[in-house]
Structure 1
Amino acid sequence: MKMSPSLSVLLAVVASMAGIGGINCGLLDMFNTNSDYHLAASMDAVFGALRNDIGNFLEGNIKNPVEKEVTFWCGNRNSTQLKQTFVNDTDLDSKLDLSKPLTFIIHGWLDNSTRIWVKTMAQDMMKYADTNVCGVNWSRLARHNYYQVAMNHTLIVSSYLTKFVEYLRSAGIDLEHITFVGHSMGAQISGQAGKNLNGKIGKIYGLDPAGPCFTFPRDRGLQYRLDSSDAKFVQMIVTSRFMIGVGAGDGHENFYPNGGYSPQTNCAIPVTSDAEFADQIMCSHLHSTTLFRLALNPAIVYRARRCVNWPLYLLTFCNTNEANVIGVYSKQKAGHFYLRTSAFTPFTALFPTN
């Protein structure tokens, strides 16, 4: 299999950070892995191969006011169509039921709130959890290069999200009844907003939180990334460790389907080009959203076991350890939990099942 230079470089960089031996081909001389900028540049090089799907990266400084770049689309069981909702909205009562909890869904880099996974998750949240839902759309800010988005744009989004939450609190929704569900950089935005709100948010679900520029190769600090201090309860689902996702979860609960590594079992496609490699990683990265969404249905259970690491889990040393389940029905027990999932929908756990 012949790999292009940018693919080979990214593989080598990722392998060196993950502590994987056996790669010593001199390619790392092209990058200083102590620099967030160079790692982010390699992310841009590889995922630029997906331009046919996502379009070109946007360039330049942000000129629009924040309320144009970050918008909120809200609904509930009585009004399931998500409608744009504003700070100081004079029509708030028709969009939100202030007597019910509220869940925010926050997309990540190169994504937007009109994607099917966001819309479907919003409808399933309303169906199974009877909660208000607000999708946070920051798609134009998310379309810039990785470094600019990670270092600057996430802070813009989290600041305005904080302002919107504070407005809703003044309207009568308690912080402990608010949940953030964030994917990729959306998970880190959730952590930033949670930190701004002094950790008083009820729950945060971090779906494969973005790792580069947040936790490796250089940790920017807890004020920029999601961790267990950002809400009363934080769960992470990690599906692309040391690739786009964090190397290890830092929530109260951390779930690692298939060890947390890319490719996930349903994403194992042959790789011969940058575009296919990017597709494989993105498939694994997005798989966290699928598992969380499907787990909203009480009939679909992803049961995991507390374990020290993936090899010990595979060797069945953890089969008698405490069990827990992914998603909103978890036991909210601290620790790291591993499970192996099927390659076919609904991807339910293969073992252990008790």
Structure 2
Amino acid sequence: MLACRRLAALGLLLVLCQGRGEDGGADSCDNFTDLNLSHCFLGTNLYVRLLLYTRANPACGRELHHRRFPSEPLFDLSRPTAFVVHGYRPTGAPPVWIDRLVRLLAEGRDLNVVVVDWNRGAANLNYLAAVAYTREAAHNLTGFIRAMQEEGASLGSMHLIGVSLGAHLAGFVGANLKGKVGRITGLDPAGPLFTGATPDERLDPSDAMFVDVLHTDMDSFGLRGAHGHIDFYANGGADQPGCPKTIFAGKSYFVCDHQRSMLLYLCALNRTCTLRAYPCASYADFLDGRCLQCEAFKPASCPQLGYDVIQWRESLLRLGQTKVFFSTTASQPYRKLNYRVDMVTWNQYLRWGVVYIRLHSGRNVTEARVDHKLLRFEQFTSTRLLAQFEEDLPHVHKISLRINTGNVIGPRYKIRLLQIRLTPLERPERPLMCRFDIIMEENTEVAFRPLSCDSRR
């Protein structure tokens, strides 16, 4: 438990915290500014603090002086530096994710992790005031980075991770430095007051040598459009699974989709989530199975959300601004397993319907519902689907299929499948699963054992 003593002198707030270091001994830690609603009501004036974390002190921050930082022995300018920039803080409390993000960055890589604490400025019930402070805070951080340069640090080794309003602040820093910083990551960049803004008024690809952006709330607090060299759209970039759909859920209704960007990024950093995304013009085209090719990328796989997306940088710079889409579950590990499903039908009458596919492995069953729109089934028609399963069953011994046409009054028509083939997209080492010449009734499930796609019944 930290025992903190606050002293006010000459209008500045000094926070002295006595805690314990990683070795259990007494140590002096500098912590993120913790304010309350009274500060937000009265408004706060901008004051920027820079807190350093490394592998040697992943849980105990060291405040850096803006000009005399070489005196801090843990701040090694030969290492890459990641700056973490939070967004608007309407309650004044520290971000709930800050400690976990810092630990994952500091413990996972040999980095300087610098938290840009501009809570005094971001904590304000007047969002307009917080937006106005982003330029001044960016000027402050720009000066610090230039001082680092003078001491021998490389701009190309710097990575700014900006959250919501902090994404635009990071973009302003990058623009001040003529786009020469190595990378900026924007986690659901803020939308209010930035919708329709020109590139120099928000985050854009020219702000860094590589800009990657994650969208989760474009229809509310997030920014619509594409603003990086690569833009990830989780579940289309708007409504996230598991988030409340009505205002009766209270605060969560407003913030859940926006906060999901950080949860997805933390999961990807922790390597418990493998969230691979597919280049496409729209989420609808992705769900239709039209965008499941990744041969244009090197390495020859689709980009993966997280810190390591930088390995696709050369391909992305060659391809230009790229939109990539993926779907998630409501909770960790968030990943869905994608199968490309190709069917050839030969039914006498034209039918419209949706498809339900179940995979069976022992007693375990997982289902994919391809029900975002009605599909057309007629004589000798090839249909490609994207089937997304919430569980990964490595040994599938049975497949169940149902085509639901909604016909509950008239006779049940027969649907003949000349072929069905399932290709696991994220598991290329697994065999393709096929079946040939299946006759089924609409609205009735048929089960079959998958065969090798080289086989014929």
Q: TM-score range by the shorter chain?
A: 0.7 to 0.9
The whole-number CA distance in structure 1 between the counterparts of 2:308 and 2:241 is 24
The whole-number CA distance in structure 2 between the counterparts of 1:315 and 1:185 is 33
Rg bigger for which structure? 2
The aligned amino acid for 1:271 is T
The whole-number CA distance in structure 2 between the counterparts of 1:59 and 1:344 is 35
2:210 maps to 233
The whole-number CA distance in structure 2 between the counterparts of 1:349 and 1:54 is 39
User: Within the alignment, does 1:344 sit opposite 2:321 as a pair?
Assistant: no
User: Within the alignment, does 1:71 sit opposite 2:49 as a pair?
Assistant: yes
Moved more, 69-78 or 317-326: 317-326
Within 5 Å, which residues of 2 pair with 1:22-61? 55=37, 58=40
The aligned amino acid for 1:288 is S
Q: Is the 8 A contact 2:51 2:61 kept in 1?
A: yes
Task: Give the C-alpha shift of residue 93 in structure 1.
Answer: 3.5
The whole-number CA distance in structure 1 between the counterparts of 2:143 and 2:97 is 26
Q: Is the 8 A contact 1:113 1:119 kept in 2?
A: no
User: Within the alignment, does 1:223 sit opposite 2:204 as a pair?
Assistant: no
The whole-number CA distance in structure 2 between the counterparts of 1:185 and 1:176 is 23
Of the three residues 222, 226, 231, the one matched with 1:249 is: 226
Give the gaps of 5 or more residues in structure 2.
1-34, 296-301, 340-424, 427-457
Name the SS for the 2:307 alignment partner.
Answer: coil
Equivalenced residues, count: 290
Query: Superposition RMSD on alpha carbons, in Å?
Result: 2.3
The whole-number CA distance in structure 2 between the counterparts of 1:242 and 1:165 is 34
User: Within the alignment, does 1:335 sit opposite 2:327 as a pair?
Assistant: no
1:148 maps to 129
User: Within the alignment, does 1:121 sit opposite 2:108 as a pair?
Assistant: no
The aligned amino acid for 1:58 is C
Q: Is the 8 A contact 1:71 1:84 kept in 2?
A: yes
The 1:121/1:62 distance shift into structure 2, 3 A limit, reads: closer
The 1:204/1:303 distance shift into structure 2, 3 A limit, reads: same
The 1:176/1:113 distance shift into structure 2, 3 A limit, reads: farther
The aligned amino acid for 1:342 is T
The whole-number CA distance in structure 2 between the counterparts of 1:227 and 1:91 is 32
Task: Give the C-alpha shift of residue 260 in structure 1.
Answer: 0.4
1:106 maps to 85
The aligned amino acid for 1:248 is G
Could you say which structure has the greater relative contact order, defined with CA pairs below 8 angstroms and 6 or more residues apart?
A: 1
The whole-number CA distance in structure 2 between the counterparts of 1:236 and 1:159 is 22
The whole-number CA distance in structure 2 between the counterparts of 1:70 and 1:113 is 16
Q: If the length of structure 1 is used for normalisation, what is the TM-score? A: 0.76
User: Within the alignment, does 1:271 sit opposite 2:246 as a pair?
Assistant: yes
Q: If the length of structure 2 is used for normalisation, what is the TM-score? A: 0.60
The whole-number CA distance in structure 2 between the counterparts of 1:266 and 1:167 is 45
Q: Is the 8 A contact 1:54 1:110 kept in 2?
A: no
The 1:54/1:283 distance shift into structure 2, 3 A limit, reads: farther
User: Residue by residue, what CA displacement relative to the aligned partner does 1:294-334 show, whole Å, maximum 9, x if unpaired?
Assistant: 21234531001001101111111112345211112122324
The whole-number CA distance in structure 1 between the counterparts of 2:308 and 2:93 is 25
Moved more, 318-327 or 98-107: 318-327
Q: Is the 8 A contact 1:113 1:137 kept in 2?
A: no
Task: Give the C-alpha shift of residue 61 in structure 1.
Answer: 7.2
The 1:194/1:256 distance shift into structure 2, 3 A limit, reads: same
The aligned amino acid for 1:306 is P
Q: Is the 8 A contact 1:240 1:281 kept in 2?
A: no
The whole-number CA distance in structure 1 between the counterparts of 2:118 and 2:89 is 10
Give the gaps of 5 or more residues in structure 1.
1-52
The aligned amino acid for 2:325 is Y
Q: Is the 8 A contact 1:237 1:255 kept in 2?
A: yes
Task: Give the C-alpha shift of residue 54 in structure 1.
Answer: 6.9
Task: Give the C-alpha shift of residue 113 in structure 1.
Answer: 8.5
2:289 maps to 316
2:409 maps to none
Task: Give the C-alpha shift of residue 287 in structure 1.
Answer: 1.2
The whole-number CA distance in structure 2 between the counterparts of 1:54 and 1:344 is 30
Identity %: 29
Q: Is the 8 A contact 2:167 2:189 kept in 1?
A: yes
1:30 maps to none
1:83 maps to 62
The whole-number CA distance in structure 1 between the counterparts of 2:94 and 2:123 is 14
Bigger fraction of residues in helix: 1
Name the SS for the 2:68 alignment partner.
Answer: coil
The whole-number CA distance in structure 2 between the counterparts of 1:94 and 1:138 is 24
The whole-number CA distance in structure 2 between the counterparts of 1:55 and 1:97 is 37
